[in-house]
Amino acid sequence: MHDHEGVTWNKKSFEYLVIDNVTKELVQAPVVNHIADEQGIDIIERKGKGLIILLHGGTGTGKTFPAESVAELAEKPLFHVTCGDIGTEREKVEKYLESVLHLGKAWDCIVLIDEAEVFLEQRSLDNLERNALVSVFLRVLEYYEGILILTSNRVGTFDEAFKSRILLSLHYENLTRGQRTKIWKNFLVRLRELGGNTSDKIDFHDIECYIEDLTKYDLNGRQIRNVLTAGRQYANFKKERMAFHHLKHAIDVSSKFEKYLKTVQEGYSDYQVIRTEGVR
């Protein structure tokens, strides 16, 4: 095989995580130690050697980015699976999970199972089918030896049995204004680092002058990224360099829909509705 180069890992992405330094180190330590292949302490040789991390929080709070950053830090590819790919029939789920985790180990990947709440839900007497799925997932996890990251936004219905399987659980609250400031700045840094044609089309000075105005809007990480994407496309359409006013237009348009949703939900935000229902 010719004309191929080694992978250049972006370890700097871990620095962009908008979490405190102690939490960063708590994430980094088990990953580094697992890579060093420390001996498991379970009596059964194959049992309990895996590293399982749970990332919990609302949509757009940044659960997937830590998984991507950990993969870069560990210098391993990320094998991304969503529960929609896995299905809900017990036999098929078991075979698919075993296949995914086998490949994850064989390829030396970090496996990310996104939206894993269907497998994490509390078992009950009136839903035997779901109980079977949860039991299958528990058993498969017990013997997995690699690094597995789960994301969920419905831990209010979390099955107690998972607590002993998961080494580290991180909860992502709605962003504070300080965190939004850091996310905006991180995105701008990354856009500037792209250089060339991309950074030439952005008026960084103008946007940075209005950064405090941008952070007053209650946006999550995904919404901030979407605003930047919409702002760049709008500026490109107008044949202008992207500046603050392009981003402001994008925010104003998207906020109209958010206001409508809040009206439909009798003045409550999505987060408040879900908290009231007891699922987050």
Domain chopping of the chain, boundaries: 11-172, 177-264
Closest CA to 226 of 251, 201, 205: 251
Listed residue (135, 143, 137, 163) closest to 45, CA to CA: 143
Q: What is the pLDDT of residues 166-216, one digit of tens each?
A: 888 888 888 889 999 999 999 999 899 887 777 789 999 999 999 999 999
pLDDT number for residue 44: 44
Percentage of the residues of the chain whose pLDDT score is greater than 90: 27
Decide if 147 contacts 37 (C-beta within 8 A). Answer: no
| pLDDT tens-digit map of 128-166 | 777 888 888 888 888 888 899 998 887 667 777 787 788
The type of residue at 115 is: E
Residue 37 makes CB contacts below 8 A (sequence gap 6+) with none
Mean pLDDT of 263-275: 56
What does the pLDDT read at residue 39? 45
Residue 160 makes CB contacts below 8 A (sequence gap 6+) with 122
Helix (H, G, I), strand (E, B) or coil at 95: helix
pLDDT of residue 18: 82
CATH class of 11-172: alpha beta
138/94 Cα distance (integer angstroms): 11
- Position with higher pLDDT, 40 vs 224: 224
Q: The tokens of 202 are what?
A: 């952005």
* Beta-bridge mates of residue 113: 81, 150
- With 70 as the cut, is the pLDDT of residue 266 above it? no
Alpha carbon distance 118, 279 (integer Å): 12
Q: Give the pairing of strands 51-57 and 168-172.
A: parallel
Range 255-264, long-range pairs (CB < 8 A, 24+ positions) = 255/217
> If you count DSSP H runs as helices and E runs as strands, how many of each does the chain have, helices first?
13, 5
Is the pLDDT at 15 greater than 70, yes or no? Answer: yes
CB 67 within 8 Å of CB 17: no
pLDDT of 2 > 80? The answer is: no
* pTM score of the predicted model: 0.75
Res 276 pLDDT > 60: no
pLDDT at 60: 72
